């Protein structure tokens, strides 16, 4: 496959104008407005407009598209008299999703940049409900003259339930999920329930100001948790349970009964419902619950890939992937059979992305935020180094290049922690050799390889 036949794109999720500029300079082709606090975070129309203006106003060598989303959960609920949440009608769910799509599409300024994307998160829905929501969004945008060229992308999540069960009790995972407020009230003695008070100090923030709510343990009690909106009024205890994954075996019961991870049959069903709705593309991502426990989409252990995942250990947890190369190749091939574009996301890192561009050259798009973001640094040293968490890191052009396709300046970035891992020398050499040979055979630019620190500062890898 020659460079002239490629139309591959990197989607970079950004939160503000400067991040949009960094993404463009790094080779991003789709600049996506997104709040980094969740897997597919809602973002206000005003922020979307700021990002769109920055992308359109900034010098770029490549054609750039815009995208944003209407969130990762379209379900709507009402409260019964006993306080129980009851799902509203499918008609209203689909209608609200279409209204949201109109709003975010207009915010991207489609009159001056008509070909944009609206991502629609439909995880946790039965197949027929997914179809209804997606069809409503597609039909609504097609009927709106100014937005008729806007493309629609479904977003569904891959999962591995066994990994989730193994890691959801990890102390660091719990702390991050508490910070993200990915929990609901529980009861002492209930399975997997834990006291939120020990996790509240230094993590929970005010949703408006972003300020830490509790800086000392003496400030945290059941009453203060209720007062600050962390727990609902009437709570009689401070025990909570983390939110759970929407299991495929519940929402795809005919094809995923008893399954603990995403299979080709589930992938096929996801693509089918997307294509039948008239949407243009599908993204397979991973839930924020999965991301925080060092689990990503791409499993590098299988045949054909160089396994770098197992060299990356964070908070005592080795990085593991969900979908194999064979399953990802099936996803791309089946998408093309059904006439939709294939987009892979899910904490994709440079050492995964560059292998996918080489081994599945037909892949249309990859999406990133985490691996394209680094710890924020104030060059004046007026304040300490920023926090090294997903929601506080910022987009860096040097890191974006690590995800970009070779024809858009893509490089190989390896985190410094890989350098000292046992067995890393042989695997890094094999990875570089494989990528170089693949690029030369395809007539693509020569590979450059770097170590990168947490802020994204690159240092060339010296091969011996």
- Say which residues have a Cβ less than 8 Å from residue 419's Cβ, sequence separation at least 6: 451
Max CA separation in the chain (angstroms): 71
Contacts of 335 (CB under 8 A, 6+ apart): 271, 282, 341, 342, 364
Q: Strand (E) positions, 369-411? A: 373-374, 394-395
- What does the pLDDT read at residue 40? 46
Distance CA 205, CA 211 (A): 5
Q: What is the DSSP string of 203-237?
A: T-B-TTT--BS-SSGGG--HHHHHHTTSS-TT---
pLDDT of 147: 87
Band (39; pLDDT cuts 50, 70, 90) = very low
At 268-316, the pLDDT tens digits run: 999 999 999 999 999 999 998 999 999 999 999 988 899 999 999 988 9
CA 350 – CA 332 distance, rounded (Å):
19
| pLDDT attached to residue 3 | 55
Q: Please tell me which residue, 173 or 74, carries the higher pLDDT value.
A: 173
Give the pLDDT confidence score for residue 271 in this predicted structure. 97
Q: In sequence order, what are the residues at sequence separation of 6 or more whose Cβ sits closer than 8 angstroms to the Cβ of residue 386?
A: 375, 376, 377, 392, 393, 394
CA distances from 271 to 117, 206, 283, 341, 346 (A): 17, 39, 9, 10, 17
User: If you average pLDDT over residues 149-154, what whole number do you get?
Assistant: 92
**For 305-348, how does the pLDDT look when each residue is reduced to its tens digit (9 = 90+)?**
999 999 999 889 999 999 999 999 999 999 999 999 999 999 99
Lowest mean pLDDT segment, chosen from 114-118, 131-135, 397-401: 114-118
The number of CA neighbours under 13 Å toward the Cβ of 76 is 12
The larger pLDDT score, comparing residue 62 to residue 24, is at 24
- Average pLDDT of the segment spanning 244-269: 92
Rounded to two decimals, the pTM is 0.91
Percent of the chain with pLDDT over 70: 88
Q: Which domains does the chain have, with CATH numbers?
A: 8-161+252-408 (3.20.20.380), 183-242 (no CATH)
Indicate the range of 95-99, 322-326, 412-416, 425-429 predicted with least confidence: 95-99
- How high is the mean pLDDT of the chain? 88
* Residue 46 clears pLDDT 90, i.e. is over it: no
Say what the pLDDT of residue 72 is: 61
How distant is the alpha carbon of residue 105 from its chain centre?
Answer: 20
Q: What is the pLDDT of residue 112?
A: 65
Given CA atoms 319, 322, 325, 329 in this order, what sign does their dihedral have? negative
Residue 86 has pLDDT above 70, yes or no: no
Q: Which pair of structure tokens corresponds to residue 110? A: 């489609």
CB contact at 8 A, 269 and 127: yes
pLDDT at 386 (0 to 100): 58
What is the structure's pLDDT at 196?
Answer: 94
Cα–Cα nearest to 298, from 393, 397, 403, 401: 403
């Amino acid at each position: 496959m020659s460079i002239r036949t490629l139309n591959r794109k990197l989607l970079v999720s950004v939160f503000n104008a400067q991040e949009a500029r960094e993404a463009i300079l790094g080779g991003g082709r789709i600049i996506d407005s997104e709040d980094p606090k969740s897997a597919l975070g809602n973002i206000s129309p005003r922020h979307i407009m700021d990002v769109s203006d920055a992308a359109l106003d900034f010098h770029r060598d490549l054609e750039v598209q815009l995208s944003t989303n209407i969130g990762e959960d379209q379900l709507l609920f009402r409260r019964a008299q006993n306080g129980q949440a009851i799902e509203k009608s499918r008609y209203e769910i689909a209608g609200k999703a279409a209204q949201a799509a109109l709003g975010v599409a207009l915010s991207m300024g489609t009159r001056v940049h008509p070909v944009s994307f609206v991502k629609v998160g439909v995880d946790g829905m039965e197949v027929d409900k997914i179809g209804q929501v997606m069809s409503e969004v597609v039909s609504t945008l097609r009927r709106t003259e100014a937005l008729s060229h806007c493309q629609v992308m479904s977003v569904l999540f891959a999962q591995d339930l066994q990994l989730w069960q193994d890691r959801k009790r990890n102390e660091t995972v719990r702390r991050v999920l508490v910070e993200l407020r990915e929990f609901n009230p529980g009861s002492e003695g209930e399975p997997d329930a834990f006291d939120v008070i020990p996790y509240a100090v230094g993590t929970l923030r005010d949703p408006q100001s972003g300020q830490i709510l509790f800086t000392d343990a003496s400030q945290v009690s059941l009453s203060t948790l209720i007062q600050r909106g962390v727990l609902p009024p009437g709570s009689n205890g401070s025990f909570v349970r983390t939110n759970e994954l929407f299991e495929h075996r519940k929402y795809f019961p005919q094809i995923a009964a008893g399954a603990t991870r995403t299979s080709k049959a589930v992938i096929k069903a996801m693509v089918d419902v997307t294509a039948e709705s008239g949407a243009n593309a599908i993204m397979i991502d991973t839930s924020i619950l999965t991301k925080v426990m060092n689990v990503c989409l791409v499993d590098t252990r299988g045949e054909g890939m160089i396994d770098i995942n197992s060299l990356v250990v964070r908070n005592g947890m080795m990085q593991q992937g969900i979908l194999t190369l064979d399953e990802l190749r099936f996803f791309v091939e089946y998408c093309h059979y059904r006439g939709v574009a294939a987009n892979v996301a899910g904490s994709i890192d440079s050492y995964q992305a560059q292998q996918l561009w080489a081994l599945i050259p037909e892949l249309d798009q990859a999406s990133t935020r985490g691996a394209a973001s680094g710890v924020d640094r104030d060059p004046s040293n007026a304040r300490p180094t920023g926090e090294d968490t997903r929601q506080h890191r910022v987009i860096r052009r040097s890191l974006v290049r690590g995800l970009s396709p070779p024809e858009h300046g893509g490089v190989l970035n390896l985190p410094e922690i890989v350098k000292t891992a046992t067995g890393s020398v042989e695997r890094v050499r094999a990875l570089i050799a494989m990528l170089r040979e693949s690029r030369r055979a395809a007539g693509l630019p020569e590979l450059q390889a770097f170590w990168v620190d947490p802020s994204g500062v690159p240092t060339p890898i010296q091969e011996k």
